[in-house]
C-alpha cells in the first residue's frame, strides 16, 4: 500500500536561506510522515546553506524526512529568473506523482501535507492548490503549493515584464484546462511575518 511519502516530494528552492531553512524543515518534519522526500535545490548560496544541508544529511539530523540536495555553485537562470529556474529543475528531478513546492522561508502547519493532498484529490478540476500565507496577495503564490508532478513539468516557470512567475504559472494552468485555488482554511506562516 502506497503511503503519502511514496506519492509526494516537498521541493524547496534555496538561495542564501541558512537563517530560515531549519524552521521550514522542522515544519515539514512535524508532519510525521515517515520517510517523506524533501528535494532541495540550492542555486549558488554563499551563506553556508548547502554546507548546512549536507551536514544535516550526513548526521541524519531529521527523523521523519529524507533530504536530497541538488546544487550549483553559480546562480543559474540569471539573477531575477533563478527561482523559476529552480522550480523547473525540481519538477524535473522529482520522482513522485505529486510535488509540494515550499519556499525556504515559509512554514506549514501540522498535518498540512495530508490535508492538502486529500483536498487536491477531491478537486479533479484544479492543477494547483496553494496554502494562503500572505493575505495581501490576490493570486496563488508559489510559496506553499501542491500540484501533480506531470503538470509542474509542463509549466514554463517564467517571469515576464507584465506578470510574476505565479501569474504566469496560473496562465499556463488555464492553458491546460486547469484552475488554481487556495486551500479553504489552512494557513502557512511566512517567516518574515512571525
pTM above 0.75, yes or no: yes
CA distance 79 to 194: 27
Return the H-helix or E-strand segment holding 5.
Answer: helix 4-7
Q: Where are the beta strands (DSSP E) in the chain?
A: 8-14, 36-43, 65-72, 98-102, 106-107, 126-132, 144-148, 179-187, 189-190
In sequence order, what are the residues at sequence separation of 6 or more whose Cβ sits closer than 8 angstroms to the Cβ of residue 118? Answer: none
pLDDT in tens, 12-58: 999 889 999 999 999 999 997 889 999 999 988 889 999 999 999 99
pLDDT in tens, 72-120: 876 665 555 578 888 989 999 999 999 999 999 999 999 999 999 999 9
CATH class of 4-189: alpha beta
- Give residue 148's pLDDT: 95
Q: Which three cell numbers stand for residue 12?
A: 524547496
Q: What whole-number distance in Å separates Cα of residue 192 and Cα of residue 168? A: 25
User: 92 by DSSP, 3-state: which?
Assistant: helix
Amino acid at each position: 500500500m502506497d503511503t503519502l511519502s511514496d506519492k509526494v516530494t516537498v521541493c524547496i528552492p534555496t538561495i542564501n536561506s541558512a537563517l530560515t531553512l531549519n524552521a521550514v524543515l522542522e515544519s515539514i518534519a512535524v508532519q510525521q510522515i515517515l520517510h517523506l522526500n524533501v528535494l532541495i535545490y540550492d542555486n549558488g548560496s554563499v551563506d553556508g546553506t548547502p554546507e548546512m544541508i549536507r551536514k544535516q544529511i550526513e548526521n541524519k539530523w531529521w527523523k521523519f524526512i529524507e533530504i536530497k540536495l541538488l546544487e550549483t555553485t553559480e546562480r543559474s537562470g540569471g539573477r531575477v529568473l533563478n527561482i523559476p529556474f529552480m522550480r523547473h529543475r525540481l519538477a524535473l528531478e522529482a520522482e513522485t506523482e505529486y510535488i509540494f513546492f515550499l519556499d525556504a522561508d515559509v512554514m506549514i502547519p501540522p498535518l498540512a501535507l495530508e490535508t492538502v493532498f486529500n483536498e487536491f484529490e477531491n478537486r479533479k478540476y484544479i492543477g494547483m492548490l496553494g496554502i494562503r500565507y500572505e493575505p495581501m496577495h490576490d493570486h496563488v503564490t508559489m510559496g506553499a503549493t501542491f500540484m501533480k508532478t506531470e503538470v509542474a513539468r509542463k509549466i514554463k516557470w517564467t517571469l515576464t515584464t507584465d506578470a510574476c512567475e505565479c501569474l504566469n504559472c496560473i496562465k499556463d494552468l488555464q492553458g491546460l484546462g486547469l484552475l488554481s485555488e487556495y486551500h479553504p482554511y489552512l494557513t502557512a506562516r511566512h517567516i518574515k511575518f512571525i
